[in-house]
Structure 1
Amino acid sequence: MKTEKQTHNNHDSNSTDNIAADKLLRSAAKDVAAHEARMREIILTLKKAAEGDTDLSIVGERKLRSIAAHFDISTKNKETNTIAAELADKLLDDISRTEPGLCSTLSVVAPPERIQTWKQLDLLPVSSSFEVSSALKQTSDESLNDWQKKMNTTFRLGAAFLLNCTAGSSLATDCLCGTAEHTTTKVYLESLHADTVNIALYEHIPTLAAAVCNATQNKRFTAMANEAGATGIQVYEIRSSDKPSTDTIDKVSRLATTNGVGLALETGAIDVLLADTQKVLPKIASVAAFNKTVIVTTNKSSHLAGAEFIGTGNEVQTLAENIVTRAIESFKNRRDVKRTLPGKDVTAQVGFSLDTIDRHYGCLDRIASALIDGKIKGIVSLFGSTPTDADSTQHLAVLINILLENNILIFANGYPAFSLATQGFCSSKAREKCGEMLQLFLNTNMPPVWHFGECTDNAQPLATFREVAKYAGHKMKDLPFAAVIPEWSEAEGLGATLAFRVSGFDTYHCTPPSLQQSKNIQDFLYNGTQDQLGSSMHVAPNPNDLAEMIISDFNNARSELCWR
């Protein structure tokens, strides 16, 4: 029989466990809901393009027809727009499903082994909308004191994040905009200033660009900028060619080509992105939203969600003045946004994806073979949000250098990808930082860090891991694969972290989650899913220690597989 003191201690423990579980569950639900909203807009844009309700055309026809086959959509003798409309409907249905059962999107992107595991563990998501609603209901039910149920629901949200928030948006984006291009880009970040109102002209109409440049020289606007706390107004140019335009070259600073716009936005220094011809890809819009950069367009019929429309009925000069005014307002509203300026120009290879890697190597069997014979000891997927302290960039460099020296290949997304790009890791010249075996695999033309894009979209890295595992003949959870999220996040990034966990990946962090001293929640989060999902969580504040953890775990995985 329990004493009064034991009963009181158990009550306190349960209360602490439920508070910590509620916090994680709400954070995961919020992240999934935010990504679902953006993804829904992308799919709706695909449908509008298919139905002719926008000036946007469907660029990725080849990808569309390939994806349609996986969704059992007949393509024979069908027009592209008809196929696109049918695919959009299926993707939209998967977002809002209310009845359990295997949805089309999940069967396309998740290995059969994972789907079967999720079924057995009751982690198979119905849809992102359904899972978010269910999660919020649990956190609002004061009578529900079952922290284990709440943690299971949290991991279901990880599967939902993979299902709708990354896979669905990635498929729709590839069909609408075409797949990424693997290219080398140079971004002239040295020209960016932290204390000026910064306007980037993205594939702009020359007459409007010239009018914007002239407006920035107007004393009225320079006075407004000074009143807002800026030292002036600067205009930058983003174009499809690395050759600057001739019409505004004396007033505009060169910033990037179109394939480097993500790196430019990741600095947080752009106040307004003027995209007059609307070549803003959904991922770019997400980066802009994260950094509170305002996307402005003058094309009402073709702009993507999130862009602010400034009317077309006005004269060019009036439009230009409205754009400059909006940029000054944005500067004032973005005082809390960190502006990360490396003070140097950056050359990086970008545009890595399952398709571009497959095209480069001819077949992903070459990567699987390199993994088996030891040229690649393992592969790490690196992602996360903006670091919280000044030492984080240096710690990240230390971690990556150790992993590369030990022949570990890096896939990178989001802010860590930006940070490594600015430090030269995404250039083929960084091959010299690698161990001898990894250098042999990379040859002379590939970087050791593969830049998979902005934000925490993990669809492409996970798709690549899935195909490599298929060629290697093993489950992903048994291979030397891992996810590294240096700064634990309970906001942007938690859904992606959970998606890797439910996919069987161990995750590694330099900062631990805040769990209100709940040992049960900590034990579950760290090791509670090892037996069922094949994944666990590891934390080490020191980057050297974290690297050694990863290397040791990769060596153990290789030993279990009888790989050298």
Structure 2
Amino acid sequence: MSRRQGFPSKADVIERTPDRAVREMLQHMGKIGIETPFDRFDTQKPHCGFGLSGTCCKNCHMGPCRITAKSPRGVCGADAHLVVARNILRWTAAGVAAHGARGREVMLALKGAADGALDLPILGPDKVIATAKAFGIFEDGKTIKELAAEIAMILLDDLCRTLPGPHRTLEAMAPPERLQVWRELDILPVGAYHEVFEALHRTTTGTDGEWENVTRQMLRCGLAFAWSSVVGSAIAMDCLYGLPKRSRISTNLGAISEDTVNIAVHGHSPVLVAAIVKAARRSDLIAAARQAGAATIRLYGICCSGHSALAKFGDITPLTNAVGAELALATGAIDLWVADVQDVFPGIMDVAACFHTRVVTTSDSTRLPGAEHIAFDHHHSNLGEADTLAERIVRLGIQAYGGRQSGKVFIPAARMEAEVGFSVENILATFGGADTLLEHLRSGRIRGVVNLVGCNNPKVVYEEAVVKVADELIAHDVLALTNGCAAYALLKLGFCLPEALSGAGQGLNSALTQHNLPPVWHMGECLDNARASVFFRTISNAANEPLKRLPLAFSSPEWSNEKGLGAALGFRLLGLNSYHCIAPPVDGSEKVARFIYEDTRELLGAVMVIDQDPVALARRIVADFDERRAALGWDKGSEPATTRLSALQRQQEHSHAHLHGHPHTHNDTEDHNHE
């Protein structure tokens, strides 16, 4: 089942990536001699075949052991099936820890706000009440703070439980049909901390020697990931900061202004970023920025910190995902780069040094050599100092303004508008309830819904796969939800505008045009996979059908890390197929690969589909939806659109370039929404 392939080069990215700002920045950085992730990826070739297939074991120091025809077992006797299973379990456990660690911070902040230990308002009272009712703790006499305090303790208990007991978030929020499946499989988690603890224990030297038992623990970790690290963290965020708000924003590198104090926030943790947003609005700090010669203070979003703050507060311009971070830095127009946790590549420090951009780290979990550290401590004992830390950070940005090097600022003109801030609540309000959405699905006007997400991976051309999948889906009347790193490509290339319906089928047009909605709905950061899962359950409840029978799916075409593996597993545990252009490192074991790709159909009602061709992958999703629709007796829907949105965008870009008399680049600063 080997899926080894020739991976694209930096030259391939320059030729084929759909965003011209990326092309321009890669060419610019090449000319001035600045390394990028794509350069480093090229120097790693050829990649280790043992790593790609999952057959290298480093869990003890008798090795590392590589499984080959000559040596089919490691020193301890582990064969390929056990080695691959242990490796993939450790990946899954790492994903639980990643989302859970940053989720714990906001759970602690919610508890502190509720207890009065932190001077933080609780901005989501409706979410507090709804969650309290779901948990069965709502009473008319209880205040919002009292309810929030109880919710925070339930979430923290589910996260770190050691004494076996019910996982209350999962029991309250998961579909009953799924709960029964998970009980029968004996994969209900004790708590997120425990399942990670157990995963590391099972995979250490001389412990669990049965690959099937190891994969069962992977499923437990998948549930812990989905219902504590993701859903639990999302509940805490929505309670503390409120639900997303719909808005229209500008995005891409062309949205960077030169006459403002420019501060980028990069990472995943919302607590200090929320305080930075608040500080950047302060009149005294804006006055200080003007005194320094700037027009005002502007904040820019990199990776999920940008998505989260944008959806909750506005006042953030989303620029790029983790892989593109160094490209944004190389514009030379960012005065201060604020990094918290996850998807913050160490390579940003080398680029920052080329432009004298100051870098601040804000978490004990993330230190970068040469960065200034203004952070929450290891015990989170200074969460109450968030406003003070935020002021220090913003003042650093003001001090850095004016330090940009003359002649080194290079900002591609590409800029796009996008609509953001979709939530289940505002979607249902727009359509007048779930029954209307269900009718669109039954009739085929909406052929199905895909949660189209995931990080980026240089094993495929940067952002090409997610764009091609989106192109094909909307052309076939499939509605897409998006969040996290994948969302940047769709925001930048016009998929999140109502005008994008020009590339959609007749059915999607008829369902969405009347509400002036885009064919791709931006739901926030990667944690907001929770929002998609709630949306799917809402449809399931309205249809009175289990999720596994409905035309709903998860796709992360360009996934690259442990959290991506956990996200795919979380949706498959719900009974929804996952679709990808990149295979996980399991092909060294035929048994584990068969389990991952196929055997979960019988266990969970869902499979993992891999196709390196994103267009073929999207068409497989459509075909699978049609099969489910036929089984339900639902209408098939209309024929697909004959044009694709990205092709229309390229035509407009070329026409605009010819109109201006230059080869598809722009030196003006106009807002060209369809370049």
> Measured at CA, do residues 167 and 327 of structure 1 come closer, stay the same or move farther in structure 2, by a change above 3 Å?
farther
Q: Which residue type is aligned with residue 550 of structure 1?
A: I
Residue 539 of structure 2 is matched in structure 1 by: 468
Residue 192 of structure 1 is matched in structure 2 by: 256
Give the distance between the partners of 1:511 and 1:90, measured in 2 at CA. 37
Give the distance between the partners of 1:326 and 1:531, measured in 2 at CA. 59
Residue 432 of structure 1 is matched in structure 2 by: 502
1:365 equivalent among 435, 438, 452: 435
> Measured at CA, do residues 341 and 24 of structure 1 come closer, stay the same or move farther in structure 2, by a change above 3 Å?
farther
Q: Which residue type is aligned with residue 117 of structure 2?
A: D
Residue 198 of structure 2 is matched in structure 1 by: 134
- Equivalent residue runs for 1:380-391 within 5 Å: 380-388=450-458, 391=461
Q: Is the 8 A contact 1:238 1:256 kept in 2?
A: no
Matched, 1:58 2:131: no
Residue 537 of structure 1 and its aligned partner are, at CA, apart by 0.8
2:318 equivalent among 259, 263, 285: 263
Q: Deviations over 1:504-542 (max 9, x none)?
A: 111111111122622111111101211010010111111
1:70 equivalent among 127, 134, 137: 134
> Measured at CA, do residues 169 and 456 of structure 1 come closer, stay the same or move farther in structure 2, by a change above 3 Å?
closer
Residue 108 of structure 1 is matched in structure 2 by: 172
Q: Which residue type is aligned with residue 285 of structure 2?
A: L
Give the distance between the partners of 2:196 and 2:130, measured in 1 at CA. 31
Q: Is the 8 A contact 2:299 2:317 kept in 1?
A: no
Q: What is the TM-score when the length of structure 2 is the normalising length? A: 0.67
2:621 equivalent among 529, 550, 553: 550
Q: Which residue type is aligned with residue 205 of structure 1?
A: R
Q: Which residue type is aligned with residue 451 of structure 1?
A: H
Give the distance between the partners of 2:106 and 2:604, measured in 1 at CA. 31
Give the distance between the partners of 1:325 and 1:307, measured in 2 at CA. 21
> Measured at CA, do residues 560 and 516 of structure 1 come closer, stay the same or move farther in structure 2, by a change above 3 Å?
closer
Q: Is the 8 A contact 2:245 2:312 kept in 1?
A: no
Give the distance between the partners of 1:26 and 1:305, measured in 2 at CA. 34
Give the distance between the partners of 1:328 and 1:522, measured in 2 at CA. 53
Q: Which residue type is aligned with residue 368 of structure 1?
A: L
Matched, 1:346 2:410: no
1:521 equivalent among 564, 567, 592: 592
Q: Which residue type is aligned with residue 481 of structure 2?
A: F
Matched, 1:118 2:182: yes
> Measured at CA, do residues 215 and 149 of structure 1 come closer, stay the same or move farther in structure 2, by a change above 3 Å?
farther
Matched, 1:237 2:301: no
> Measured at CA, do residues 545 and 159 of structure 1 come closer, stay the same or move farther in structure 2, by a change above 3 Å?
same
1:563 equivalent among 631, 634, 655: 634
Give the distance between the partners of 1:290 and 1:483, measured in 2 at CA. 26
Give the distance between the partners of 1:394 and 1:294, measured in 2 at CA. 32
Residue 257 of structure 1 and its aligned partner are, at CA, apart by 11
Give the distance between the partners of 2:80 and 2:375, measured in 1 at CA. 52
Residue 304 of structure 1 and its aligned partner are, at CA, apart by 5.8
What is the identity percentage for the equivalent residue pairs of Structure 1 and Structure 2?
A: 34
> Measured at CA, do residues 290 and 104 of structure 1 come closer, stay the same or move farther in structure 2, by a change above 3 Å?
farther
Residue 510 of structure 1 is matched in structure 2 by: 581
Q: Is the 8 A contact 1:382 1:412 kept in 2?
A: yes
SS at match of 2:562: coil
Give the distance between the partners of 2:456 and 2:181, measured in 1 at CA. 33
Give the distance between the partners of 2:435 and 2:591, measured in 1 at CA. 42
Matched, 1:207 2:284: yes
Residue 167 of structure 1 is matched in structure 2 by: 231
Matched, 1:92 2:156: yes
Q: Deviations over 1:148-188 (max 9, x none)?
A: 11111112111111111111111111111111112222347
Residue 193 of structure 1 and its aligned partner are, at CA, apart by 8.7
Give the distance between the partners of 1:437 and 1:302, measured in 2 at CA. 54
Q: Which residue type is aligned with residue 536 of structure 2?
A: F
Residue 108 of structure 1 and its aligned partner are, at CA, apart by 2.5
Residue 480 of structure 1 is matched in structure 2 by: 551
> Measured at CA, do residues 66 and 326 of structure 1 come closer, stay the same or move farther in structure 2, by a change above 3 Å?
same
Give the distance between the partners of 1:442 and 1:285, measured in 2 at CA. 37
Residue 54 of structure 1 and its aligned partner are, at CA, apart by 1.5
Matched, 1:423 2:493: yes
Q: Is the 8 A contact 1:197 1:328 kept in 2?
A: no
Residue 344 of structure 1 and its aligned partner are, at CA, apart by 2.0
SS at match of 1:411: strand
Q: Is the 8 A contact 2:443 2:634 kept in 1?
A: yes
SS at match of 2:187: coil
Q: Is the 8 A contact 2:247 2:421 kept in 1?
A: yes
Q: Is the 8 A contact 1:509 1:539 kept in 2?
A: yes
Q: Is the 8 A contact 1:43 1:88 kept in 2?
A: yes
Give the distance between the partners of 1:327 and 1:95, measured in 2 at CA. 45
What's the Cα RMSD here? Answer: 3.9
Give the distance between the partners of 1:326 and 1:420, measured in 2 at CA. 31
2:395 equivalent among 308, 320, 325: 320
> Measured at CA, do residues 289 and 88 of structure 1 come closer, stay the same or move farther in structure 2, by a change above 3 Å?
farther
SS at match of 1:140: coil
Give the distance between the partners of 2:617 and 2:626, measured in 1 at CA. 14
Residue 3 of structure 1 is matched in structure 2 by: none
SS at match of 2:458: coil
SS at match of 1:376: coil
Q: Is the 8 A contact 2:124 2:242 kept in 1?
A: yes
SS at match of 1:547: helix
1:495 equivalent among 560, 566, 569: 566
Q: Is the 8 A contact 2:261 2:398 kept in 1?
A: no
Residue 388 of structure 1 and its aligned partner are, at CA, apart by 1.6
Residue 39 of structure 1 and its aligned partner are, at CA, apart by 1.1
> Measured at CA, do residues 516 and 298 of structure 1 come closer, stay the same or move farther in structure 2, by a change above 3 Å?
closer
Matched, 1:29 2:93: yes
Residue 214 of structure 1 and its aligned partner are, at CA, apart by 5.8
> Measured at CA, do residues 507 and 47 of structure 1 come closer, stay the same or move farther in structure 2, by a change above 3 Å?
same
- Runs (5+) with no aligned partner, structure 1: 1-6, 218-233, 240-254, 276-283, 332-339
Give the distance between the partners of 1:479 and 1:341, measured in 2 at CA. 45
- Equivalent residue runs for 1:221-232 within 5 Å: none
> Measured at CA, do residues 399 and 137 of structure 1 come closer, stay the same or move farther in structure 2, by a change above 3 Å?
same
> Measured at CA, do residues 22 and 377 of structure 1 come closer, stay the same or move farther in structure 2, by a change above 3 Å?
same
Residue 349 of structure 1 and its aligned partner are, at CA, apart by 1.2
Residue 531 of structure 1 is matched in structure 2 by: 602
> Measured at CA, do residues 121 and 299 of structure 1 come closer, stay the same or move farther in structure 2, by a change above 3 Å?
closer
Residue 290 of structure 1 and its aligned partner are, at CA, apart by 7.8
Matched, 1:151 2:215: yes
Q: Which residue type is aligned with residue 484 of structure 2?
A: G
Q: Is the 8 A contact 2:261 2:401 kept in 1?
A: no
Q: Which residue type is aligned with residue 237 of structure 1?
A: R
Q: Deviations over 1:370-422 (max 9, x none)?
A: 11111111111111112326724233222211111111110111111111010
> Measured at CA, do residues 33 and 177 of structure 1 come closer, stay the same or move farther in structure 2, by a change above 3 Å?
same
Residue 343 of structure 1 and its aligned partner are, at CA, apart by 3.9
**Worse-matched range after superposition: 184-193 or 41-50:** 184-193
Residue 19 of structure 1 and its aligned partner are, at CA, apart by 1.7
Q: Deviations over 1:33-66 (max 9, x none)?
A: 1211111111110111111112211111122112
Q: Is the 8 A contact 2:118 2:383 kept in 1?
A: no
Q: Is the 8 A contact 1:365 1:471 kept in 2?
A: yes
Residue 323 of structure 1 and its aligned partner are, at CA, apart by 6.5
Q: Which residue type is aligned with residue 55 of structure 1?
A: D
Q: Deviations over 1:116-165 (max 9, x none)?
A: 11000011111101110000101113242211111111121111111111
Give the distance between the partners of 1:320 and 1:285, measured in 2 at CA. 18
Residue 455 of structure 1 is matched in structure 2 by: 526
Give the distance between the partners of 1:326 and 1:122, measured in 2 at CA. 57
